[in-house]
Amino acid sequence: MPAAFLAQVLVLTPRASGQSTPIPSDAPPSVVSLSTVRKQIRAEQRRRLFPTIEFANRVSHFDPNSDYRDFHGFFNLFWIGLAIMAITSMLRNIKDTGYPMRVQIWGLFTVKLWHLAIADFAMVASSAVSLPLHRLFRAAPAGGALTWAKGGMAIMSIYQVLWLAFWIAVPFLLEWTWTAQVFMLLHTMVVLMKMHSYNFYNGHLSETEKRLRSLDNPRTASRAPVALYPTPENPMGAIASPKRAEARGKGAKLALGAPEDDEIAQLREDLARELTSPIGNITYPSNLTWANYLDFLCCPTLCYEIEYPRTDAIDWQNLLSKIAATFGCIFLLTIISEEFILPALVDASLRLSPELLTADAPLTTLEALLVLAETISWLLFPFMLTFLLVFLVIFEYVLGAFAEITHFADRHFYSDWWNSTDWMEFSREWNVPVYSFLRRHVYSASRPHIGKSYATVITFLISAVGHEIVMACITKKLRGYGFICQMLQLPIVMLQQTRWIKGKHTLNNVCFWCSMVLGLSLICSLYVLV
């Protein structure tokens, strides 16, 4: 084989990390030739007493500069490790108690189960009042008291506040277990955000339709520009259509007739485009149906749109695997709570209990802090596993299953949040549905009135209040630890944007994970023990 040709083959060989894969059957002749030559060279090396070892400028698979991204084997190892933990715990329980599992948490799942099912159905059904009310707001004459701009927005806002307060109070009044309370509260928050998005988006469309109808008599109609939303082609959005100024200039040059006809026509087109879905199959108000509302409740998104991209068919194998994985994760979460979290918290509560202390042996502040620190250390690893499993069960399996059932095509529920270098990046990537809702209905709605900085603070404030409500329902305590920790993310983000820290990705990612793992066990210990 000519040396020049061999050198060319070695130059064309990939230098980054990767793996040998068989070439496809429809590969071009050039790829087939390269593969054949490589096989010949390897065959010749095997026949040599001292085979030639190829050394090249390559990096390891874990190197940040590597092109290798397939770590599915470690994902499998994660599940194998959890299976080993579950089997070991079950064998230990059989040895100690004669039963494979403890039943303290398992028994909570069946307490007042029918109460939970009926209340949850009533909660979801009570949100459906949005549809008939929006039909009423749409039918109201322009400028009337029951239009969305006049009274509809106030009516729906008051209803949402009263609705949320009522369904938060129901679990407390019925004295449910904390497991039922957590499920009910989280589902209530989800339905609240869906209801809010449905109300305000359709309210905006009802006012847009009234403007379009008013242009049938252009002399008295408003000619204010139509706001355009940011798109990939227009990331900053615009105040009015770029064609509007062109139409206005063209109309002004007309010598005869109505000089503003082109401007009115362009405004009509902008308003009609606003009332039509981006896909183009549905136009407001044909979306105001019960089927559309029920579909939105089932779709794995919190932001309402007239129409969503859909898949052609349900992948039943994928759906069944996600359902099985959901129950598997719940099973593992229960085992972790029973075996590692609950015993540590019970032991710490007993050691800090005032009833067990005597006047001769009081508990000093240092001893209490040591008990707290020991409890936090015992909870670090269990809470890290709990956090990862909760992430998987919600964003990969539950949302994925609902996406499969509803043919919902957009499965982007999270990004690579595990590579986050600051809390702002984490908030954008770990929970895309909630981030999209807050950005659309809180941040973007408030920024024109109070500015970018205050809008960011308001967004974090609302998110922190929501997390504090969840913790209060779980622990029956209103302490504010979670609220404070989440609001502290803002000054931490400002610190990470300084020139001394910004750009140091490995350091920032390590700090993110340390604060995440430590923060979860710290907050839980504070709520339970303090």
Cα–Cα distance for residue pair 239/525, rounded to 1 Å: 50
Q: What torsion do the CA atoms of 342, 347, 352, 358 make, to the nearest 10 degrees?
A: 150
Give the SS3 label for residue 283: strand
Cα–Cα distance for residue pair 173/167, rounded to 1 Å: 10
pLDDT in tens, the chain (530 residues): 444 444 444 444 444 444 455 677 777 888 778 788 777 777 666 666 666 667 667 777 777 777 777 777 888 888 888 888 888 888 888 888 777 777 666 667 777 788 889 999 999 999 999 999 999 999 988 888 889 988 899 999 999 999 999 998 888 888 888 888 888 989 999 999 999 999 999 999 998 888 888 877 777 666 666 665 545 454 444 444 444 444 444 444 433 444 457 777 888 888 888 888 888 888 998 999 999 999 999 999 999 999 999 999 999 999 999 999 999 998 888 888 888 888 888 888 888 877 666 656 667 788 888 988 999 999 999 999 999 999 999 999 999 999 999 999 999 999 889 888 888 888 888 899 999 999 999 988 888 888 888 888 899 899 888 888 888 877 778 888 888 888 888 888 888 778 787 778 888 888 889 888 898 888 888 888 87
Cα–Cα distance for residue pair 431/297, rounded to 1 Å: 18
Give the SS3 label for residue 58: coil
Amino acid code (one letter) for 122 = A
Cα–Cα distance for residue pair 182/28, rounded to 1 Å: 57
pTM: 0.79
Q: Phi-psi category of 257—alpha, beta or left, where left has phi over 0 and alpha has psi -120 to 50?
A: left
* Token pair recorded at residue 274: 């606003």
Catalytic annotation, pick one of 61, 187, 407, 467: 467
Amino acid code (one letter) for 371 = V
Q: Is residue 467 among the annotated active site residues?
A: yes
Cα–Cα distances in angstroms (integers) from residue 394 to residues 22, 279, 430, 525, in the given order: 36, 28, 11, 24
